[in-house]
Amino acid sequence: MRLIIRVPNWVGDAVMALPAVTAAAEATGAVTLSVMARPLTAPLFQSLPEVDKVVVIDDRPARVLGPYRSARMIAEDKYDLALILPSSLSSALIFKLAGVSGRVGFAGDSRSFLLTRAVKPPQSVTHRVRQYLHLLEQVTGMALP
């Protein structure tokens, strides 16, 4: 399986995504694990041994065309599954446009129709690290630490 994880845009949020990213390869059985990140957060993931490829995106100059450009960047890699950590509409749109068959993310922001599996966020107030692990647990069916 070829897995790509869209990580959050901001450094603090991206740091909180590190446990989910490092657990993803083993938990999903992914043969290839890629991360899609902005230039500011990409270095956090480039040194991880679990990550095979970091796709660096920067769609800020042309926000309307940004998702299309990002989708073109990943379409040729033919990913089987996208784990979409940010809850934005544009993050989900990228993977729909790229033709990724499995698109999993949190429901909300009027984007559920772009996902093949919209996961309800945890009911209780939980740390962001735990929320990202919860999303991965919903994909794998495994309880993660």
How many structural domains does the chain have? 1
pTM: 0.92
Q: What is the tens place of the pLDDT at every residue in 85-118?
A: 998 888 999 999 999 999 999 997 688 999 999 9
Give the domain range for residue 108: 2-139
Tell me, yes or no, whether 145 lies in a domain.
no
Q: Looking at residue 65, which CATH number applies to its domain?
A: 3.40.50.2000
Does residue 69 lie in a domain region?
yes
DSSP letters spanning 5-56: EE--SSHHHHHHHHHHHHHHHHHHT-SEEEEEE-TTTHHHHHT-TT-SEEEE
Q: What is the pLDDT of residue 117?
A: 94
Highest-confidence segment of 82-86, 125-129, 138-142 = 82-86
Q: Which residue has the higher pLDDT, 46 or 144?
A: 46
| Domain-located, residue 144 | no
Query: Quick one: pLDDT at residue 62?
Result: 60
pLDDT at 125 over 70: no
Residue 20 lies in a domain: yes
